[in-house]
Amino acid sequence: MARDYAHPEALVSTQWVEDHRRDPKVRIVESDEDLLLYDTGHIPEAVRIDWVTDLQDAVVRDYLGRERFARLCSEKGIANDTTVVVYGDKNNWWACYAFWVFKLYGHDDVRVMNGGRKLWEAEGRPLVRDPEPKYPSANYVAKEPDPAIRAFRDEVLKHQKAGRPLVDVRSTDEYTGAKLHMADYPQEGALRGGHIPGAASIPWSKAVNDDGTFKSARELEKLYAKENKLKRRGRIIAYCRIGERSSHTWFVLKYLLGYPNVKNYDGSWTEWGNLVGVPIEKGMPAGAGA
């Protein structure tokens, strides 16, 4: 059983950020669910990247394109060899979402600050309300999107028909179809409730501690490999509602546990629950534990 994370370099501590936040080779990036949270206090050197207004295309339902990603990085003073450290609210959901987009366009060195905003704040570390700092513009060159980490619906359907592993990381009520969305979250327009048949229900929240940090390699191994029998060599697709919580689980499986083949299905339930004629299952599968 693993004693350390498979890719420990993908995770940094709040202390590491404290020690490196002024390093010109390091760019700290805050990514939150609430756009204005950054304005109410952020790590002094951090820039903001927003999941809606920066990372999504405003017209097509898709991420921003390669050229816009390159422009965004250049504007934020991120070069191809910059060490990018993402952090944010909500247990780093949006930080993982941003991390995934950086990997989609081939950024080499991206890391997540373990514990996110919550831990940084709890430790009484500095947060400032200054305007977003400006850094010298870089000449970023983005790679073509990496198909190895993103799943589209046709592939998910084939994957499902072939009985390959799918991980549904939403809450149990969303999985069973009792609810169309998380408690307290908006219903983002799915016409059917339930899950993709065959998907294992492993809510993302099982991977984190109360202080917002990730659970230990040993605990994660127990959760995913032992209790849910996810095989390391299997091709795995994770999904949630709009792709943010599944970015979190994708990060855990790929970087903390070292599963080589994990994709995020960002279309997730808001796509699947609206597709005509695709199979849907409700309730808990027979034989599944509570």
Q: Which residues belong to the active site?
A: 240
Q: Does 184 bind other proteins (CB under 8 A)?
A: yes
Pairwise CA distance, residues 283 & 62, whole Å: 30
Q: Find the angle CA(22)-CA(24)-CA(28) to the nearest 5 degrees.
A: 65
Pairwise CA distance, residues 140 & 149, whole Å: 21
Q: For 68-79, what is the HEC assignment?
A: HHHHHHHHCCCC
Q: Which of 1, 3, 36, 144 contacts other proteins by CB under 8 A? A: 36
User: Cβ 200 to other proteins, closest distance in Å?
Assistant: 26
Phi, psi of 119 (to 5 degrees): -70, -40
Instruction: Give the binding range for other proteins (CB under 8 A) out of 31-39, 156-164, 216-224, 255-263.
Output: 31-39
Nearer to other proteins, 194 or 243 (CB): 243
Q: Which of 89, 221, 266, 271 contacts other proteins by CB under 8 A? A: 89
Instruction: Give the binding range for other proteins (CB under 8 A) out of 46-54, 155-163, 167-175, 212-220.
Output: 46-54
Nearer to other proteins, 15 or 53 (CB): 53
Q: Does 185 bind other proteins (CB under 8 A)?
A: yes
Number of residues that bind other proteins (CB under 8 A): 19
Q: Does 33 bind other proteins (CB under 8 A)?
A: yes
Nearer to other proteins, 45 or 89 (CB): 89
User: Are 30 and 47 within 8 A, CB to CB?
Assistant: yes
Considering only CA atoms, which of 33, 9, 290, 272 is closest in space to residue 159? Answer: 272
**262-265 sheet: strands from edge to edge:** 200-201, 166-168, 236-239, 262-265
CA 102 to chain centre: 11
Nearer to other proteins, 58 or 276 (CB): 58
User: Which amino acid appears at position 5 of this protein?
Assistant: Y
**Residue carrying the six token digits 């950020």:** 17
Pairwise CA distance, residues 15 & 180, whole Å: 39
Nearer to other proteins, 50 or 174 (CB): 50
- Encode burial over 95-131: b for 16+ CB neighbours within 10 A, e otherwise: bbbbbbbbbbbebeebbbbbbbbbbbeeeeeeeeeee
Residues 107-146: x/- map of binding to other proteins (CB under 8 A)? ----------------------------------------
User: Cβ 37 to other proteins, closest distance in Å?
Assistant: 6
Q: Does 75 bind other proteins (CB under 8 A)?
A: no
Q: Where are the alpha helices (DSSP H) in the chain?
A: 14-20, 66-75, 93-104, 116-122, 153-161, 172-176, 217-221, 244-251, 268-272
Nearer to other proteins, 41 or 77 (CB): 41
Instruction: Give the binding range for other proteins (CB under 8 A) out of 1-9, 101-109, 178-186, 259-267.
Output: 178-186
User: Cβ 115 to other proteins, closest distance in Å?
Assistant: 15
Binding site for other proteins (CB under 8 A): 33-37, 39-40, 50, 52-53, 56, 58, 89, 184-188, 242
